[in-house]
Structure formats: structure tokens, C-alpha cells
């Protein structure tokens, strides 16, 4: 979002901004919007909906035209959103939210004509509420805590003391980033594998010492050169690459998870169709 767009968003109240975003979302993804849509979604009056459309036209005068016969606003040929991104993820993320709860859109009724869709269910990862509450308290207060943890590298769970300082997700699981007083290093602990928790203590360990967490790296990925030229082109398109590569900015501590997500296993060869993307540079 540009500075101009950020300034535009700051000039309106949160509730008004939601309605302006709604107007723009419908114009972008459904091709039309009217006052009834706004009134039914947000429970506002006719005068308020009129003011909202007037407000939108003042801020984006060349973005929509009103068709008196059909009683809808339609996007113009020069339509360019200023309150939302035109990135497709904005729309697809709403479908993901709907798929999770069937009522979980970030803005109520954002999608009107919902297409038929479905999403592969995600296996629920159990995280104990009390455990998360205490971990969050440790992060806030800068204290350590003992956890009864089952690592897959050991046959049985054991007690170990950690000093948590952050939470991290690899897209499938949530971890607590913490200093392990047993291993004497910062590590990731899967929240769902903490079986019990006890005894907080003051800690002299600061999260600022976690260099892998605080170091931001740029990982450049490209299509597997073993793919055919046409196959490489479609991988470039699929991953929105620029000139045959894409740079991912991330914390160094996430590198392991990125490799796993991309199917990149160090020291193991895969057929090009299975290993579609390779890392060509890390800096």
C-alpha cells in the first residue's frame, strides 16, 4: 500500500473505511454494487449508504459509474482500487475464511455471489489454552518456564526450562521461539507438543540475543533448471517470478520451514516434477 493510500485510509473512521473497502471489493470482484448491498451487509440507513457512495466518489471519482436502469454502480474501464489491494489473495483469503467457519469473513458479507468452492480440511493441531496463556505471559514479562515436552528426536518426554520471546508459524503449526536452557541455544518448540507446564522463574536471557530470529535474509528461488523451457515458464508464472526468479524476505530461523514447504531436502534428489523450485541464492 502506497503512502497516499495509507493517508487516505487514516482520514476515515474504521467503520467508514470498512464500508468503502466493501464498495471497492464488490466493484473489483463482482463487477457491481448498490446501496442495498451496503445497507443489508452493515445494517445502515438509506441516508448513510448514500453518504458512503458520495464519499467514495469524492475519493475515487473515476472508479465507478451509476446505471440508472439497472440501479447499480459499475467499475469504469479505468477503475483502480485505492482502499484494497487488487491482488488475488485478497479474494481467495476470504474464501479460506468462509471455508473455515462458513461465516468468518474479515468484513461481513464481503463476498456476495459466493462461487461454489471447497477447501481440503486441515488437521487440527491441539494447543492447550492454559499453556498458551502462560507462554504469552512469559513473553510479556521476560521470564522462563519449565515445559514437559515431547520431541520427536527423543523417545520420551522430559522437563526442560525455556525462556520464550516470540511465536512463529510455518503455515501448518504454531511454535514458541525460546531459549532452551538445556541445549543452551534458541530453538522452536511446537506448542501442541507441550504436555505440561510449571514453575516460572526470572530469566536473564533476552530475545534480542536470538540472532537467527532477528536476522532478515533474502532467499532467491527459481524454477528447477531440469524442467523443460515451457515448464519453467509456467513455474515462473505460478510463483509470480520476475525474470525467472523470486526473492523472499524472511527471518533466518524460517529457512528450514521454507525448504520443507518447497520440498527442498538437502542431500536428496527428486525428479524435476516433484522438485519444481530450487533455491539459487541466500544473502
CATH of the domain at 234: 3.30.70
In a domain, 235, yes or no: yes
* pLDDT band (50, 70, 90) for residue 101: low
- Residues 25 and 83 occupy one common structural domain: yes
For the chain, how many structural domains are there in total?
A: 3
In a domain, 108, yes or no: no
- Residues 181 and 238 occupy one common structural domain: no
- Residues 144 and 229 occupy one common structural domain: no
List, in order, residues 6 or more apart from 54 with CB less than 8 Å away: none
pLDDT (tens digit, 9 = 90+) per residue, 49-86? Answer: 999 999 999 999 999 999 999 999 999 999 999 999 99
In a domain, 106, yes or no: no
- Residues 152 and 198 occupy one common structural domain: yes
End-of-domain residue from the set 82, 101, 120: 101
Retrieve residue 155's grid coordinates: 523417545
**Please, are residues 31 and 79 in contact by the beta-carbon 8 Å criterion?**
no
In a domain, 113, yes or no: no
pLDDT (tens digit, 9 = 90+) per residue, 257-276? Answer: 999 888 887 666 788 888 89
Domain residue limits at 145: 129-207
Please name the residue ranges forming H helices in the chain: 3-10, 14-29, 35-42, 46-59, 88-101, 129-141, 211-214, 229-238, 255-262
- Residues 230 and 173 occupy one common structural domain: no
- Residues 220 and 203 occupy one common structural domain: no
Average pLDDT, the chain: 90
Which of 161, 167, 229 has the alpha carbon at shortest distance from 199? 161
- Residues 33 and 93 occupy one common structural domain: yes
pLDDT of the residue at 104: 46
DSSP assignment of 192-207, as one string? GGEEEEEEEEE----G
Give me the mean pLDDT over the 230-255 stretch: 95
Retrieve residue 8's grid coordinates: 487516505
**Please, are residues 201 and 154 in contact by the beta-carbon 8 Å criterion?**
no
For residue 255, give the 3-state DSSP assignment: helix
- Residues 191 and 240 occupy one common structural domain: no
- Residues 203 and 220 occupy one common structural domain: no
In a domain, 112, yes or no: no
**Please, are residues 247 and 218 in contact by the beta-carbon 8 Å criterion?**
yes
In a domain, 15, yes or no: yes
pLDDT (tens digit, 9 = 90+) per residue, 13-60? Answer: 899 999 999 999 999 999 999 999 999 999 999 999 999 999 999 999
- Residues 81 and 135 occupy one common structural domain: no
Partners of 185 in the β-ladder: 180
pLDDT of the residue at 100: 64
pLDDT (tens digit, 9 = 90+) per residue, 132-162? Answer: 999 999 999 999 999 999 999 889 999 999 9
Amino acid at each position: 500500500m502506497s503512502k497516499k493510500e495509507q493517508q487516505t485510509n487514516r482520514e476515515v473512521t474504521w467503520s467508514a473505511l470498512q464500508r468503502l473497502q466493501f464498495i471497492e471489493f464488490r466493484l473489483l470482484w463482482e463487477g457491481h454494487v448498490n446501496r442495498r448491498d451496503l445497507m443489508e451487509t452493515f445494517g445502515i440507513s438509506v441516508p448513510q449508504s448514500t453518504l458512503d457512495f458520495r464519499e467514495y466518489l469524492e475519493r475515487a471519482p473515476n472508479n465507478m459509474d451509476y446505471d440508472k436502469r439497472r440501479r447499480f454502480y459499475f467499475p469504469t474501464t479505468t477503475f483502480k482500487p485505492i482502499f484494497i489491494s487488487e491482488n488475488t489473495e485478497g479474494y481467495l483469503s476470504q474464501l479460506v475464511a468462509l471455508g473455515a467457519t462458513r461465516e468468518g469473513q474479515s468484513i461481513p458479507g464481503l463476498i456476495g455471489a459466493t462461487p461454489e468452492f471447497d477447501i481440503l480440511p486441515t488437521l487440527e493441531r491441539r494447543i492447550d489454552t492454559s499453556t498458551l496463556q502462560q507462554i504469552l505471559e512469559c513473553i510479556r514479562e521476560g521470564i522462563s518456564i519449565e515445559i514437559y515436552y515431547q520431541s520427536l528426536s527423543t523417545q520420551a518426554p522430559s522437563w526442560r526450562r525455556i525462556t520464550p520471546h516470540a511465536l512463529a508459524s510455518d503455515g501448518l503449526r504454531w511454535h514458541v521461539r525460546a531459549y532452551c536452557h538445556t541445549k543452551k541455544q534458541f530453538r522452536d518448540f511446537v506448542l501442541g507438543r507441550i504436555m505440561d507446564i510449571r514453575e516460572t522463574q526470572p530469566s536473564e536471557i533476552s530475545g534480542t540475543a536470538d540472532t537467527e530470529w532477528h536476522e532478515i535474509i533474502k532467499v532467491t528461488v527459481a524454477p528447477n533448471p531440469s524442467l523443460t523451457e515451457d515448464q519453467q515458464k509456467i513455474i515462473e508464472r505460478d510463483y509470480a517470478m520476475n525474470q525467472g526468479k523470486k526473492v523472499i524476505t524472511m527471518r533466518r530461523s524460517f529457512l528450514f520451514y521454507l525448504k520443507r514447504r518447497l520440498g527442498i531436502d538437502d542431500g536428496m534428489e527428486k525428479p524435476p516434477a516433484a522438485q519444481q523450485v530450487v533455491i539459487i541464492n541466500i544473502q
